[in-house]
């Protein structure tokens, strides 16, 4: 986090790679080539010096795939510009003053960012919150609470706009009235995943949507892991809520660790596939957090007040404590030594207060119930 | 030469008296049937002469015309073989006509002249009783069935020869054994004690039985939905004799009655999802047969894999669910079958079946989940008061559980609750909570203040719709009836809300 160029462990773009109108146009063309990723382009760029020179290398067939060579003749910077204008996006280039300094310290930094919406956040005021698309209700609640807490503390929440945890953290931030940034794994004009158009629009209104791909680039599998390095790179810290063992969340967390960012992870049961990424990160040195309060405290963003514990009767408290993970109502009845009808009545009361939810015929405690059981 | 005997044709489940006239006149030997005989009756033409001759009688070698009257009613079923044969024998003076007019005849003949068990004999006997006839003549195999109708002389004959013998006074029919309704009140082969665990589902089914509510069971494959549904029939209150007769009659018409005894156990029908529309709702081209909805009359209709049923089949269930009967329209007019059943529908929580299962992950993509949910929340859901998720139990959870309570004590509680409802709704024509229309339910349910408040709270907090509100109210009323409480209390409402009305709309969105 400290001293952007203090140690340059990875090759970066040469100064002036994208400066000037001509190089800017060349950079737009380069960014549209599917066969050219920053990793292959970076070593060449050091010798070539400018984006324009790289485009010429591609045109001669000395760089990139055969398809790139044919495609580069067809590409027109003007049409990219027109498409950018159509969707209201702007470019932030390597040599632009707006280019986020924290991104310069990561490996394979993008030489161009397409941005729709407001300003990009300063590193100190940005935290990434990522996790699984297929998440649990608990994970979603937590991501939302974290997003809300960060936004209330004036921190920008950065995530990937995917379903599940990503969407919940964005929504939490929007609820908290703070800016939030979504980094896409497709062209800047995409509304992907399907059904996220409304969310992306709200993010654009209250923060920014970012991509390293120009309009029209389709969402392809390889672009999502690549997107994760930008999510991690934009922030001073990353929070991983839920993720499986080979998930994108784990990639984001590992990137963040590599880039020297603070990493936080929320643990869950050992046998839960969704807890594998957080547990692995905790083993690798991430900090374990149990709540949004833990996170805010650790980031020095104010005291973690967890709010007063809900006011419960002894029977209700006992019912809450009988819920160890998703639990059958029969078992709750047995533990409390009451009839099933009474146990169901208790559980329903708790559910109406948002402290319990039913999942597939079993009941589990919600995030809101945690302070109640922790107090004893 | 002229003869006249009485037969019965069964339309739907109701028997109609048919006068069978036979005339033997000049002309080449032939047999003509007039008076709108249906295909199976027309079919009998070639069967009757060999049967008569095999039984040792003479077939008149002249022109025989048999007329079935009234002529505007299509005659169905093979039960008219016997009256046609008897008509011819009377016309040819081989049977004394004296006592004939006091008896109705029904039965299918074989070529050897024996009488074969015939569907619908109970309906025949009932029609004879209504017409104040002295007795019925039926195949020996249908004796017990015909004997269910009181005050009717049942002549159960093994063949045509004995029938003629009876009227000549040379043969005395055996007295059919009287039916003892005091036998096992249910006669079910399954019992609730066989269900391990699943306390919540057991409780929900008890409530369903007590209030006559329809049920939707949502659960992964192997959760035990079928096992549970089958046992709902065992905890419904015992049927009255009247109800048992209706059920027996329907099964008799469908040819599904074995042994002809009174069916005292409530039927359980589980048609496969590939069932045809006539098989489900009644109908058929050659022979009008009651459908599965009518065979489930006074019992349980179980639709496993609800989502696999054709849309028109599911739509077709609306009428029987609303009216307790089904009307089958045909070219020759419409026929009505009774069909008042408790519906138990079962569905997977998602296309792959594992949504919400803690041990197996659901792989359904979001858009398929959404499409599935939309399809599930279709028109039928309005008529289903109780929806619940049946979890697939782990081995440990199963081992933790003791064998559950048997069906008999549950049924006692159910009957007590039903009696309370009957007393409360005396004179309204509604037998149980589930059948009350929503507005009436709000008026007569007797709900305490805190219970109203809780319901109102649920409307806001749980996004309960107006229909959902009425359903929750009715289920709460049933829980209070099980509890013996005159007023619905807040706790009853709380529990009712567990059998959540918006399970499909909201609950299935969750990934466990």
For residue B151, give the CATH number of its domain: 3.30.230.10
Listed in sequence order, the residues at least 6 apart from A54 whose beta carbon sits closer than 8 Å to its beta carbon are A26, A30, A41, A44, A45, A48, A63
Of the candidates B227, B199, B458, B469, which has an alpha carbon nearest to the alpha carbon of residue A362?
B199
Q: In this structure, are B199 and B156 located in the same domain?
A: no
Is B272 in a helix, a strand, or coil?
Answer: coil
pLDDT mean over B113-134: 93
Q: In this structure, are B129 and B9 located in the same domain?
A: yes
Q: Residues in chain B whose beta carbon is closer than 8 A to a beta carbon of chain A?
A: 197-200, 203, 219-220, 349, 355-358, 361-362, 366-367, 388-391, 393, 397, 400-401, 454, 457-458, 461-462, 479, 491, 494-495, 497-498, 500, 507, 510-512
pLDDT above 50 (res A244): yes
Tokens of residue A275, six digits: 């807890």
Q: In this structure, are B373 and B290 located in the same domain?
A: yes
Residue in B197, B198, B199 to test binding to A, most A beta-carbons within 10 Å? B199
Is B45 in a helix, a strand, or coil?
Answer: helix
- CATH number where A348 lies: 1.10.10.10
Residue B508 confidence (pLDDT) = 42
Residue A222 confidence (pLDDT) = 87
Half-sphere exposure of residue B29: CA atoms within 13 angstroms, side-chain side: 6
Whether residue B177 lies inside any domain: the answer is no
Q: What is the mean pLDDT of chain B?
A: 87
Contact B482, B327 (CB under 8 A): no
Interchain CB distance below 8 Å, B361 and A360: no
Q: In this structure, are A232 and A138 located in the same domain?
A: yes
Interchain CB distance below 8 Å, A348 and B494: yes
Instruction: Using the 3D structure, point to which of A250, A272, A298 is the last residue of a domain.
Output: A298
Between A106-120, B34-48, B77-91, B194-208, the lowest mean confidence (pLDDT) is in B34-48
* Tens-place pLDDT, residues A3-55: 444 445 678 899 889 988 899 999 999 998 877 888 888 888 888 889 999 99
CA–CA separation, B147 vs B121, rounded Å? 10
Is A221 in a helix, a strand, or coil?
Answer: coil
Q: In this structure, are A221 and A340 located in the same domain?
A: no
* Tens-place pLDDT, residues B213-261: 999 998 888 888 999 999 999 999 999 888 999 999 999 988 888 767 7
Whether residue A343 lies inside any domain: the answer is yes
Whether residue B181 lies inside any domain: the answer is no
Interchain CB distance below 8 Å, A136 and B511: yes
CA–CA separation, B419 vs B412, rounded Å? 11
Interchain CB distance below 8 Å, A345 and B349: no
pLDDT mean over A236-248: 93
Q: In this structure, are A243 and A201 located in the same domain?
A: yes
Whether residue A279 lies inside any domain: the answer is yes
Tokens of residue A132, six digits: 């699984």
Interchain CB distance below 8 Å, A352 and B462: yes
Residue B263 confidence (pLDDT) = 85
Residue A8 confidence (pLDDT) = 53
Q: In this structure, are B411 and B373 located in the same domain?
A: yes
Q: In this structure, are A188 and A283 located in the same domain?
A: yes
For the entire predicted model, the pTM comes to 0.80
Compare CB distances from A326 to B366, B507, B512 and report the shortest one's residue: B512
Show the beta-strand stretches assigned E in chain A.
90-93, 112-117, 126-130, 156-159, 180-183, 208-211, 237-240, 262-265, 287-288, 356-359, 362-365
Contact A207, A180 (CB under 8 A): yes
Q: What is the number of H-type helices and E-type strands within chain B?
A: 20, 16
Number of domains in chain B: 2
Interchain CB distance below 8 Å, A360 and B367: no
Whether residue B391 lies inside any domain: the answer is yes
Q: What is the span of the domain harbouring residue A363?
A: 314-374
Residue A306 confidence (pLDDT) = 56
Interchain CB distance below 8 Å, B356 and A135: no
- CATH number where B312 lies: 3.40.50.300
Q: In this structure, are B121 and B254 located in the same domain?
A: no
Interchain CB distance below 8 Å, B498 and A330: no
Interchain CB distance below 8 Å, B361 and A273: yes
Whether residue B182 lies inside any domain: the answer is no
Q: In this structure, are B162 and B233 located in the same domain?
A: no
Q: In this structure, are A238 and A360 located in the same domain?
A: no
Whether residue A7 lies inside any domain: the answer is no
Interchain CB distance below 8 Å, A348 and B497: yes
**What is the complex's ipTM, to 2 decimals?**
0.78
CA–CA separation, B413 vs B192, rounded Å? 14
Q: In this structure, are B387 and B448 located in the same domain?
A: yes
Nearest CA of chain B to the CA of A104: how many Å? 37
Between A280-289, A357-366, B59-68, B483-492, the lowest mean confidence (pLDDT) is in A357-366
CA B161 to each of CA A121, B23, B87, B91, B165: distance values in angstroms, whole numbers, following the listed order: 104, 21, 14, 17, 6
pLDDT above 90 (res B24): yes
Chain A hits for B195, CB-CB cut-off 8 Å, are: none
Is A351 in a helix, a strand, or coil?
Answer: helix
Q: In this structure, are A268 and A352 located in the same domain?
A: no
pLDDT above 70 (res B504): no
Listed in sequence order, the residues at least 6 apart from B443 whose beta carbon sits closer than 8 Å to its beta carbon are none
Higher pLDDT, B356 or A165: A165
Question: Is the bond into B242 cis (omega within 30 degrees of 0)?
Answer: no
Tokens of residue B70, six digits: 């009234």
Whether residue B59 lies inside any domain: the answer is yes
The packing angle between helices A38-48 and A51-60, to 10°, is 110
Is B388 in a helix, a strand, or coil?
Answer: strand
Whether residue A98 lies inside any domain: the answer is no
pLDDT above 90 (res A282): yes
pLDDT above 60 (res B185): no
Contact B277, B283 (CB under 8 A): yes
Residue B186 confidence (pLDDT) = 53
pLDDT mean over A331-347: 91
Whether residue A104 lies inside any domain: the answer is no
Q: What is the span of the domain harbouring residue B91?
A: 2-168
Q: In this structure, are B163 and B296 located in the same domain?
A: no
Number of domains in chain A: 2
Q: In this structure, are B140 and B85 located in the same domain?
A: yes
Q: In this structure, are A149 and A240 located in the same domain?
A: yes
Of the candidates A31, A11, A23, A29, which has an alpha carbon nearest to the alpha carbon of residue A113?
A31
- Residues pairing with B328 in the sheet: B335
CA–CA separation, B43 vs B59, rounded Å? 18
Listed in sequence order, the residues at least 6 apart from B460 whose beta carbon sits closer than 8 Å to its beta carbon are none
Q: In this structure, are B454 and B341 located in the same domain?
A: yes
Q: Is the dihedral of CA A112, A113, A118, A123 positive or negative?
A: negative
Banded pLDDT at A2 (limits 50, 70, 90): very low
Compare CB distances from B391 to A137, A341, A360 and report the shortest one's residue: A360
* Tens-place pLDDT, residues B73-101: 888 777 899 999 999 999 999 999 888 99
* Tens-place pLDDT, residues B34-45: 998 887 788 888
Contact B38, B333 (CB under 8 A): no
Whether residue A227 lies inside any domain: the answer is yes
Whether residue B320 lies inside any domain: the answer is yes
Strand B115-116 with B14-25, pairing: unpaired
Other C-beta atoms closer than 10 Å to the C-beta of A204 total 19
Whether residue A102 lies inside any domain: the answer is no
Listed in sequence order, the residues at least 6 apart from A372 whose beta carbon sits closer than 8 Å to its beta carbon are A309, A310, A312, A317, A320, A355
Chain B hits for A331, CB-CB cut-off 8 Å, are: 397, 400
Interchain CB distance below 8 Å, B358 and A358: no
* Tens-place pLDDT, residues B378-435: 767 878 899 888 888 888 878 777 777 899 999 999 999 999 999 999 888 888 999 8
Residue B154 confidence (pLDDT) = 93
Nearest CA in chain A to B456: A352
Residue B510 confidence (pLDDT) = 40
Nearest CA of chain B to the CA of A341: how many Å? 7
Nearest CA of chain B to the CA of A312: how many Å? 16
Whether residue B174 lies inside any domain: the answer is no
pLDDT above 90 (res B116): yes
CA–CA separation, B333 vs A156, rounded Å? 73
Interchain CB distance below 8 Å, A328 and B393: yes
Interchain CB distance below 8 Å, A361 and B462: no
CA–CA separation, A23 vs B314, rounded Å? 65
Whether residue A209 lies inside any domain: the answer is yes
Residue A173 confidence (pLDDT) = 95
**Residue B489 CA to its chain's centroid (Å):** 36
pLDDT mean over B259-270: 86
Residue A143 confidence (pLDDT) = 95
pLDDT above 90 (res A203): yes
Other C-beta atoms closer than 10 Å to the C-beta of B188 total 18
Residue B104 confidence (pLDDT) = 96
Nearest CA of chain B to the CA of A342: how many Å? 8
Chain B hits for A165, CB-CB cut-off 8 Å, are: none
Nearest CA in chain A to B220: A360
Q: In this structure, are B206 and B124 located in the same domain?
A: no
Chain A hits for B347, CB-CB cut-off 8 Å, are: none
A to B CB pairs, distance under 8 Å:
89
Q: What is the mean pLDDT of chain A?
A: 88
Q: In this structure, are B62 and B144 located in the same domain?
A: yes
Residue in A140, A338, A348 to test binding to B, most B beta-carbons within 10 Å? A348
Chain A hits for B197, CB-CB cut-off 8 Å, are: 328, 330
Q: Is the dihedral of CA A219, A222, A224, A227 positive or negative?
A: negative
Tokens of residue B156, six digits: 């159960």
CA–CA separation, B419 vs B342, rounded Å? 18
- CATH number where A253 lies: 3.40.50.450
Q: In this structure, are A240 and A336 located in the same domain?
A: no
Interchain CB distance below 8 Å, B495 and A345: yes
How far is the first Cα of chain B from the last one, in angstroms, to the nearest whole number? 83
Residue B182 confidence (pLDDT) = 45
- Residues pairing with B325 in the sheet: B338
Contact B308, B342 (CB under 8 A): no
Interchain CB distance below 8 Å, B390 and A136: no
Compare CB distances from B495 to A341, A352, A358 and report the shortest one's residue: A341
């Amino acid at each position: 986090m400290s001293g952007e160029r203090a140690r340059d462990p990875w090759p970066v773009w040469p100064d002036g790679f994208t400066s000037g109108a001509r190089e800017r146009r060349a950079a737009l063309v380069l960014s549209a080539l599917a066969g050219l990723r920053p990793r292959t382009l970076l070593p060449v760029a050091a010798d070539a010096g400018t984006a324009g020179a790289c485009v010429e290398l591609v045109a001669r067939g000395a760089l990139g795939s055969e398809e790139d060579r044919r495609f580069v003749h067809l590409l027109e910077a003007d049409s990219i510009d027109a498409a950018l204008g159509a969707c209201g996006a702007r470019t932030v280039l390597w040599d632009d003053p707006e280019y986020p300094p924290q991104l310069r310290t990561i490996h394979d930094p993008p030489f161009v960012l397409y941005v729709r919406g407001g300003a990009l956040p300063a590193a100190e005021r940005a935290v990434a919150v990522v996790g699984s698309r297929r998440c649990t209700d608990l994970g979603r609640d937590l991501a939302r609470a974290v997003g809300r807490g960060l936004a209330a503390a004036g921190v920008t929440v950065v995530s990937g706009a995917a379903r599940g945890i990503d969407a919940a953290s964005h929504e939490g931030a929007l609820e908290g009235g703070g800016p939030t940034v979504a980094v896409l794994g497709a062209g800047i004009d995409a509304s992907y995943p399907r059904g996220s158009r409304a969310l992306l629009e709200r993010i654009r209104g209250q923060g920014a949507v970012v991509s390293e791909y120009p309009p029209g680039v389709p969402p392809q599998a390889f672009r999502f892991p690549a997107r994760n390095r930008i999510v991690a790179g934009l922030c001073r810290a990353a929070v991983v809520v839920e993720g499986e063992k080979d998930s994108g969340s784990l990639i984001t967390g590992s990137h963040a660790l590599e880039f020297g960012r603070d990493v936080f992870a929320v643990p869950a049961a050992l046998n839960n596939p969704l807890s594998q990424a957080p547990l692995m990160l905790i083993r690798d040195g991430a900090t374990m957090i149990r709540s949004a309060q833990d996170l805010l405290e650790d980031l020095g963003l104010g005291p973690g007040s967890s709010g007063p514990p809900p006011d419960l009767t002894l029977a209700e408290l006992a019912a809450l404590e009988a819920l160890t993970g998703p639990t059958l109502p029969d078992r709750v009845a047995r533990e409390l030594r009451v009839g099933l009808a009474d146990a169901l009545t208790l559980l329903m009361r708790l559910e109406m207060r948002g402290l319990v939810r039913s999942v597939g015929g079993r009941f589990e405690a919600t995030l809101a119930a945690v302070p109640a059981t922790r107090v004893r | 030469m002229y003869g006249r005997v009485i037969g019965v044709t069964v339309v739907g489940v109701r028997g109609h008296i048919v006068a069978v006239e036979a005339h033997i006149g000049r002309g080449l030997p032939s047999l003509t049937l007039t008076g709108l005989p249906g295909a199976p009756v027309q079919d009998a033409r070639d069967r009757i002469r060999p049967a008569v001759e095999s039984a040792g009688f003479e077939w008149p070698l002249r022109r025989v015309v048999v007329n079935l009257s009234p002529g505007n009613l299509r005659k169905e079923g093979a039960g008219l073989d016997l009256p046609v044969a008897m008509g011819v024998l009377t016309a040819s003076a081989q049977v004394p006509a004296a006592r004939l007019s006091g008896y109705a005849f029904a039965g299918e003949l074989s070529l050897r002249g024996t009488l074969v068990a015939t569907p619908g004999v109970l309906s025949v006997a009932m029609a004879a009783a209504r017409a104040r006839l002295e007795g019925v003549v039926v195949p020996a195999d249908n004796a017990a069935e015909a004997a269910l109708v009181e005050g009717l002389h049942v002549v159960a004959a093994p063949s045509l020869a004995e029938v003629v013998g009876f009227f000549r006074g040379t043969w005395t029919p055996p007295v059919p054994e009287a039916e003892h309704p005091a036998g096992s009140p249910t006669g079910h082969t399954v019992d609730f004690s066989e269900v391990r665990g699943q306390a919540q589902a057991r409780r929900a089914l008890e409530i369903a039985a007590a209030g006559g509510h329809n049920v939707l069971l949502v659960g992964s494959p192997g959760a035990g939905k079928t096992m549970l549904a089958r046992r709902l029939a065992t905890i419904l209150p015992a049927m009255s004799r009247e109800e048992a007769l209706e059920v027996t009659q329907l099964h008799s018409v469908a040819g599904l009655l074995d042994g002809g005894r009174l069916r005292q156990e409530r039927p359980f029908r589980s048609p496969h999802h590939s069932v045809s529309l006539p098989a489900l709702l009644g109908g058929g081209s050659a022979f009008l047969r009651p459908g599965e909805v009518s065979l489930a009359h006074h019992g349980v209709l179980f639709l496993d894999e609800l989502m696999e049923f054709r849309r028109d089949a599911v739509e077709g269930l609306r009428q029987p669910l609303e009216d307790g009967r089904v009307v089958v329209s045909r070219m020759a007019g419409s026929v009505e079958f009774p069909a008042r059943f408790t519906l138990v529908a079962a569905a997977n929580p998602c296309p792959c079946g594992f949504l919400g299962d803690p041990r197996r992950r659901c792989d359904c993509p979001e858009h398929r989940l959404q499409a599935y949910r939309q399809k599930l929340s279709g028109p039928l859901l309005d008529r289903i008061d109780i929806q619940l998720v049946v979890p697939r139990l782990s081995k440990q959870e199963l081992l933790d559980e003791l064998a559950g309570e048997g069906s008999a004590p549950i049924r006692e509680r159910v009957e007590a609750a039903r009696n309370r409802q009957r007393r409360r709704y005396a004179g309204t024509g509604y037998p149980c909570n589930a059948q009350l229309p929503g507005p009436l339910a709000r008026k007569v349910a007797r709900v305490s203040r805190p219970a109203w408040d809780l319901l109102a709270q649920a409307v806001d907090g749980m996004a309960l719709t107006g229909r959902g509100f009425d359903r929750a109210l009715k289920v709460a009323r049933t829980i209070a009836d099980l509890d013996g409480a005159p007023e619905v209390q807040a706790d009853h409402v709380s529990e009712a809300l567990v059998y959540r009305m918006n399970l499909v709309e909201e609950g299935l969105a969750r990934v466990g």
